[in-house]
Structure 1
């Protein structure tokens, strides 16, 4: 019988190829609309896998369970542009201005921190609501979509111990799917000669919100996110992809 882990990785590889091909077609159009639609489609791919995962009923993740919202998160440049577009879509100008100020303030506090330092700093994501809910849940980063836990206690204990992510059981199939889709986006960006890097959530989003015509410039090949903070690890001595979590399921 096939090894479940190997089977999961095979499926993840196929998913990465599928995403790379689809995003590649979109990126080749060199339009902001095609770029943003590619990210929306990527999110749908992950959500489809989330709904089909055999472990979906075991996830303890709920609104108000927010330990992971105090951890570092990285995302691709297209994801940052997609999130910025969604925020502009749903918020009137005064509210968007305040939100941008909040993102800037949080970025100044966290974008330079390693995943270990971020965990111990206990600084919440700028989008964590007063009731412990994610206020951007429908269009949250791929790394956030893939990170789950079967135990809220595991998550709370890890945060209390200043650990950058729990080490307990999680939905590995969903984690692999989110990673594969992210890889597909990165591969498509490289082929299109676009920025294929990953950046700290707040730093990248702030750039996407404040640079004029950021999406238009990005699809033309401009390095819109040059100099943005990246999620790094003291233990791994380098950048960390996806959610800035130390655990490798």
Structure 2
């Protein structure tokens, strides 16, 4: 990947501590899925505030990603369970009953289809994220995974070409904002460290499969916060 970045120093070690502290404040037994959702809003919100404060107006203008551009929405996305719990809770809140059932079906189908695919296979197969709406917009944008927040591009067409070239002998690079990438990756690591310290499930799993698991088990958030290992059916 190519990079676009400024040279202002940033203390990632201190930032990791901030994220771990924010997460630890709400990851407590008994807070349920709304507690998890609040934690994720706090963690992701802080990351977005740091990113906005760091990027210059010029850098912000270089990022071409926006509503309706779903070029990268065929890559495999790994999430931690708090992210999946927050996404499922968000969809249960904003979708009507009929719409939610369609979302559940679409998500389960996508999870089954991509389960044994690596990223190159998924891109070639063109399996899109089940959370895109009819316009190609992200239906979970307010609660989208940290991995998704790490992605950016300065040129949608070049991004599409680069994704299409994955696995070939002539792979193209995607020019990204490297600070955005590093910041969101560090946010993921900080959250993971907080989970590990609290004795909670820290396994990263594929997005659609994780959200499907949350849909199927209304007690999953409580079990997760109680320190139980969450089993995914084979």
TM range (shorter): 0.7 to 0.9
Native 8 Å contact 2:123 2:164 kept in 1: no
Which residue number in structure 1 is paired with residue 51 of structure 2? 50
> Structure 2 vs 1, CA of residues 18 and 24 (structure 1 numbering), >3 Å: closer, same or farther?
same
Which of 207, 215, 224 aligns to 1:218? It is 224
Return structure 1 stretches of 4+ with deviation > 6 angstroms.
none
Gaps of 5+ in 2: 1-5
Is the partner of 1:70 in helix, strand or coil? coil
| Distance in 1 separating the partners of 2:172 and 2:131 | 21
Q: Secondary structure at the match of 1:170?
A: strand
Q: TM-score, normalised by structure 1?
A: 0.82
Query: Counterparts of 2:88 and 2:217 in 1: how far apart (Å)?
Result: 11
Partner of 1:203: 209
For residues 84-95 of structure 1, the aligned pairs below 5 Å read: 84-95=88-99
- CA shift, 1:92, in A, is 2.3
Residue in structure 2 matched with residue 20 of structure 1 by the alignment:
20
What is the CA–CA distance in structure 2 between the aligned matches of 1:13 and 1:223, rounded to whole Å? 29
Moved more, 38-47 or 127-136: 127-136
Structure 2 match to 1:247: none
- Name the SS for the 2:25 alignment partner: helix
Q: CA RMSD in A?
A: 2.2
* Counterparts of residues 26-65 of structure 1 (less than 5 Å): 26-28=26-28, 30-32=30-32, 33-52=34-53, 53-54=55-56, 55-65=59-69
Deviations 1:168-214 (A, max 9, x none): 32111111111111111111111111001111000100001111321
Deviation of 1:163 after TM superposition, in Å, equals 5.4
Q: Does 1:106 align with 2:110?
A: yes
Q: Give the Cα separation in 2 of the matches to 1:5 and 1:200.
A: 34
Aligned-pair CA distance for 1:111: 2.3
**TM-score w.r.t. length of structure 2:** 0.87
The count of residues paired between Structure 1 and Structure 2 equals 223
